[in-house]
Amino acid sequence: MTQSVVDDVARRACGSEALLSVSGVDVRLGGRTILDQVGFEVRPGEFTGLIGSNGAGKTTLLRVILGLQRPTRGSVRLTRTGRGRSGIGYVPQKVLLEPDVPLRARDVVGLGMDGHRFGIGLPSRRRRLLVDEMLAAVDASRFANARVGELSGGEQQRILIAHALVSRPDLLLLDEPLANLDLGSAHEVVGLLARIAREQQIAILLSAHEMNPLLPVMDRIVYLAGGRAASGTTEEVITTPVLSRLYGHRVDVIHVHGRVLVVVGDSETAGDSVGDIGREINSDVDVVG
Ligand SMILES: Nc1ncnc2c1ncn2[C@@H]1O[C@H](COP(=O)(O)OP(=O)(O)OP(=O)(O)O)[C@@H](O)[C@H]1O
């Protein structure tokens, strides 16, 4: 396959200040190419959306960045942190917190310090203050003492974000954190993350299959399709020419009522494997919101 489309868009926008550099990453699993020459950069305090349909390879890419999945080819470089991967915070997909888990919300946040050099040796008063600070940062102080399993999905999401933030990461990876939230909660969580990125200069890389809730806050986007990636600002990437090159066939980008819809032609007629993103509006197109 030809060199990713991506890179020409990405290269233009990339400066030398990258915190994370992903370069030429290939991943093959079960005899299939899951990621093909994926490359992009993330800089401090930037909010980056990692957008792609179900099965596009978002989780695989996050696992490569975390060092949990070895790429077949390519490299991941973390610079400026001075502490390598321990400078990464991670909120995984589908964390199940059962109602009978005997932990308060603040206990879950506190657990984020353990195992990190940052938390070891801190006196209990200092730990408590830090947990309180993180709970306040995610607007969760009012349910700090509630059993975590009894909180709503949106409230649990805030606690998991605070858990990841308490180790003071330079880069926060979130895998589909909006998947189980209603629109209002999704907007709140997105606004909260954008504020944290700005105030604490934490770079955020957040995966989602729906880009519209992220449009107001994304500094950059990494769009995955067919294993390849296009990266840049949304204006650079979410265009008919760039996405058509990425998918390998005609894709239309439509702006309607403040939303962006990516209309992907049928895979059989187009000769490409198109993900099942979004809402199928007829047998010929998928609409990626
Ligand atoms: N260990 C594995 N062996 C073989 N195939 C795998 C393995 N792990 C993932 N895959 C495949 O890789 C592809 C990408 O999976 P991945 O979970 O990265 O996608 P995703 O974009 O995160 O999807 P979703 O939005 O549904 O979570 C899928 O087709 C999946 O079946």
- What pLDDT, in 10s, does the model give residues 131-167? 998 899 888 999 999 999 889 888 888 899 999 888 8
In a domain, 45, yes or no: yes
pLDDT band at 123; cut points 50, 70, 90: low
pLDDT band at 59; cut points 50, 70, 90: very high
Q: How far apart are CA 14 and CA 11, in angstroms?
A: 5
Which residue range(s) make up the domain with 203? 20-233
In a domain, 138, yes or no: yes
Minimal-distance CA residue to ligand 1 atom 31: 55
Is residue 232's pLDDT more than 90? yes
Locate the ligand 1 atom nearest the alpha carbon of residue 52 and give its number: 21
Helix, strand counts (H, E) of the chain:
9, 13
Is residue 12's pLDDT more than 80? no
- What's the confidence (pLDDT) of residue 154? 83
Q: At what angle do helices 153-165 and 124-137 cross, to 10 degrees?
A: 130
Q: Are residues 47 and 157 in the same domain?
A: yes
pLDDT band at 83; cut points 50, 70, 90: low
Q: What is the DSSP letter of 147?
A: B
Q: Are residues 280 and 226 in the same domain?
A: no
Is residue 10's pLDDT more than 60? no
Question: HSE (CB half, 13 Å, CA atoms) of 266?
Answer: 6
Is residue 287's pLDDT more than 90? no
Cα of 257 from ligand 1 centre, angstroms: 33
Lowest-confidence range among 16-20, 170-174, 185-189? 16-20
Cα of 43 from ligand 1 centre, angstroms: 26
Q: How far apart are CA 186 and CA 191, in angstroms?
A: 9
Q: What is the DSSP letter of 3?
A: P
Q: How far apart are CA 142 and CA 130, in angstroms?
A: 16
Cα of 272 from ligand 1 centre, angstroms: 18
In a domain, 148, yes or no: yes
For the residues 44-64, what does the mean pLDDT come to? 95
CB 199 within 8 A of CB 189: no
In a domain, 156, yes or no: yes
Q: From residue 181, how far is each of 19, 110, 154, 184, 187 by CA, in Å?
A: 30, 24, 6, 8, 9
Cα of 208 from ligand 1 centre, angstroms: 14
- Classified as helix, coil or strand, 167 is coil
Locate the ligand 1 atom nearest the alpha carbon of residue 93 and give its number: 27
Hey, which of 27, 53, 54, 60 would you mutate to test ligand 1's pocket, going by the most ligand atoms within 8 Å of its Cβ?
A: 60
Cα of 86 from ligand 1 centre, angstroms: 25
Of the candidates 67, 64, 15, 63, the one whose C-alpha atom is nearest the C-alpha of residue 41 is 15
Q: Are residues 68 and 162 in the same domain?
A: yes
Minimal-distance CA residue to ligand 1 atom 7: 29
- What's the confidence (pLDDT) of residue 115? 55
Of 246 and 272, the one with more pLDDT:
246
Q: Are residues 184 and 215 in the same domain?
A: yes
Q: How many domains does the chain have?
A: 2
Q: Are residues 61 and 158 in the same domain?
A: yes
Of the candidates 237, 267, 241, the one whose C-alpha atom is nearest the C-alpha of residue 252 is 241
In a domain, 172, yes or no: yes
Q: Are residues 210 and 73 in the same domain?
A: yes
For the residues 26-47, what does the mean pLDDT come to? 95
Minimal-distance CA residue to ligand 1 atom 2: 29
Q: How far apart are CA 27 and CA 201, in angstroms?
A: 30
Cα of 57 from ligand 1 centre, angstroms: 6
Of the candidates 44, 36, 46, the one whose C-alpha atom is nearest the C-alpha of residue 71 is 36
Please return the burial class of 32, using the count of CB atoms within 10 Å of its CB with bins 0-12, 13-18 and 19+.
Answer: exposed
Q: From residue 84, how far is each of 72, 144, 155, 161 by CA, in Å?
A: 21, 31, 30, 20
For the residues 173-179, what does the mean pLDDT come to? 92
Of the candidates 78, 96, 97, the one whose C-alpha atom is nearest the C-alpha of residue 88 is 78
- What's the confidence (pLDDT) of residue 273? 32
In a domain, 152, yes or no: yes
Q: Are residues 207 and 78 in the same domain?
A: yes
φ, ψ of residue 211 to 5 degrees: the values are: -90, -20
Pocket of ligand 1, beta carbon within 6 A:
29-30, 34, 52, 54-60, 209
Decide if the complex's ipTM is over 0.85: yes
Q: Are residues 130 and 111 in the same domain?
A: yes
Q: Are residues 122 and 245 in the same domain?
A: no
Is residue 257's pLDDT more than 90? no
Cα of 59 from ligand 1 centre, angstroms: 7
Q: Are residues 244 and 229 in the same domain?
A: no
Locate the ligand 1 atom nearest the alpha carbon of residue 175 and give its number: 22
pLDDT band at 93; cut points 50, 70, 90: confident
Q: Which H or E run contains 62? A: helix 58-66
CB 78 within 8 A of CB 54: no
Hey, which of 25, 27, 28, 29 would you mutate to test ligand 1's pocket, going by the most ligand atoms within 8 Å of its Cβ?
A: 29
Pairing mode, if any, of strands 88-91 and 171-175? Answer: parallel
As given in the structure block, the two tokens for residue 65 are 């960045």
Of 289 and 205, the one with more pLDDT:
205
CB 222 within 8 A of CB 203: no
Decide which of 233, 249, 265 is a domain's last residue: 233
Locate the ligand 1 atom nearest the alpha carbon of residue 61 and give its number: 18
The answer for residues whose C-beta is within 8 angstroms of residue 117's C-beta and 6 or more apart is: 83, 86
Cα of 58 from ligand 1 centre, angstroms: 8
Q: How far apart are CA 149 and CA 104, in angstroms?
A: 8
